[in-house]
Structure 1
Amino acid sequence: MVRSLRRASAVSKFLFAVSLCAYAFLCEDWRILLAIVVAVSILLLVSGVWDRSVSLIFGVSVLGLPTLLLLFLLGGIEKAANWREGMLLGLAWLGVFSLRLLIVLLVDVLVVKWTSFSDMLLSLRSLGLPGKAVLFVSALTSLLPAMFAMSLRVVEVQRARGFEAKRLMRPSQFLPLFVPVFLAQMRRATELALSLELRGLAGDRPEAVVRTPLSVGDACFYLAAVLPWTGFAWQWLRPGA
């Protein structure tokens, strides 16, 4: 089953990712959000694409918790009647926000890990989109995992130079990591633009449109993209709503 999902077209995976991310920011039930995080994590583990770059996502999320905790606690105390209820409200907000952020990151990693760059281009071209739009969406989707992988390499290099990971608890210490990652991404974008220009892929429209048949994996992704919204649809359409 996992093999069929990995062979699905990039269009179905992209629609699944957009639908799931949008649903995550509309859903208020933390249990549903936690179930989505667990399900996507299991898919990453079972498919064998859980590497150090994926683990870095959880590490970065944990490092950002102290600052987020302070912000949400202050917001909860401001809204609640007393400080105890405010702290509980802030913790609830922080939990829901963290789950939503994890869903966005994990779903993006899942789509990128399961889709090669050439498959992504072919699937988007099958929709008849302009060539520039196809390249823009493909590069944007692959940016986040590449940035995490680059961040991991920069952390290893800085640790070899004596940088201590516990210093990342302070946001002011992010500069030794941010500058190399930013410069590397700028260099990567420049090289990608030059490579595409030399290959003649900067046209307005593709010369040929490739039609891909609907597979079992595509059907599963389309179903998973629609299924979370059935609860909202039932609440809107039921009598007396």
Structure 2
Amino acid sequence: MRKYEFVSKSEYLPVRIELEKILKEVQNIIRDEFTFQFRLVGSGNKHLITRETNGNKGFDFDYNLILNPPKSSVGYYWLPKYAKETLIKAFRKAIKGTNYSDPEDSTTSITIKAKDSKNSKIIHSCDFAIIYYPNDEQYNYYKYIRFNKPTNYTWEIRNISKNIDDKLDWLKHNVPNYWNLIKEHYLHLKNTNKDKNKHSFQLYYETINNLYNEYHNLGIKNIYSIYN
């Protein structure tokens, strides 16, 4: 069974800074084509970076690249093939001269990896999902680009995990030692996960939902009776 460990902030923070420098360069490269915002999501945004103990895949980040709609066409969005290929070309230019390998056209993202070729290891990597929020007054989902090999690109719906921030806030104010519980449960899910396609941010959302459901069902009085 694989076992994961947390990566220290002193190790992952310089990588995050470098990645966001690359993202700003990508924004600059394609500014005449279209614009986007970027957001670090899930576990990475909450300083829960992990890697497999004694593994060869390093640690990873997940970013959403949030496309802004075309200025001239209300209600229309970019063709998925055009958007992804444009971004891949821009990443290829932006990472030139760095230790990142050529961008990979993954199923639901663009992936870049910093490799230690001598020891056949990935030091760290990053997945960039390309998304947009439809302007239909529905706030519980977004659309992301999916690459259905060999050549088909589509916009697919992904439901947003509801009220994650509210649930986290409830845990913070009602459960003593809540952050250690989150870290322990998240690491447990990482260690027991058997779905290779599940991203770290999805496991983070599961962690918050699981703990919220467990402690919210207990009730405030019962929670404090446990810790007193």
Output the TM-score relative to the length of structure 1: 0.24
Greater Rg, structure 1 or structure 2?
Answer: 1
Higher helix share: 1
Higher strand share: 2
